[in-house]
Amino acid sequence: MKKSVGILGGMGPMATAELFYKIVNSTNAHSDNEHIRIYVDSNTSIPDRTAAILYGGKDPFPAMRESLQKLISCGADCIVIPCNTAYYYIDRLQNESAVPILNMPNITAAECARRFPGAKAGILATDGTLTAEIYQKALGSAGVDYVLPEKNEQEALMRVIYDGVKAGKEPESYRQDMELAINGMTKRGADVFILGCTELPIAENKLKLQMPYVDSLDELARATVKYCCAELK
């Protein structure tokens, strides 16, 4: 019997919609009835995670907990969160949850190790994700060496995420910033890139950059299909 999933979303809305699409598109279904039941709370009132982690901004945990409980009350058998920075709060959220929360960074790191054995991964993520060492820890546990962005590269990535994708700008407006980060990290040894912010798969899809990467949203979608006992494409 298939299980249901709750998407704790709104961080941001485009990434939430993209995860819903990827779950559906990853399911080998020949009729509506063969798809997973999906509950979505796109709670755009959740305060910014990076601002909270780095600058003492409003704590997002209470709003995330509220969404979590609403999804569980709907009947979700597991929870997924399409925001990598939000996994800073994963232990606190799991302690509040009667159902498992699938861990996107750990899933992504394990897939990087499987698909690119011996490769060095360039971490593309928000300031909050990097400061919290979310992917450094996940990749380290998976035995994957990594490269971090330098200051100017990270500033460029934050422009891609916040001033580009989240702001709904045309992709050409942030192509130069994305390429600056990728080219610099490649020169310092990155063999493959972790798209460790859920806006970055959206950016990559629009820019069609020629680089090996692991898409955190793709991996979360596929893990969700597996967990919910549906058949993967």
Residue 42 has, within 13 A of its CA and on its CB side, a CA count of 10
How many residues are recorded in the chain? 233
Of the candidates 198, 226, 232, 215, the one whose C-alpha atom is nearest the C-alpha of residue 77 is 226
Residue 202 backbone phi and psi in degrees, to 5: -65, -45
- H or E element at residue 78: strand 78-80
How buried is 156 (Cβ within 10 angstroms: 0-12 exposed, 13-18 middle, 19+ buried)?
Answer: buried
The tokens for 79 are 């929870």
Query: What SS3 state is found at 42?
Result: strand
How buried is 13 (Cβ within 10 angstroms: 0-12 exposed, 13-18 middle, 19+ buried)?
Answer: middle
Active site residues: 83, 197
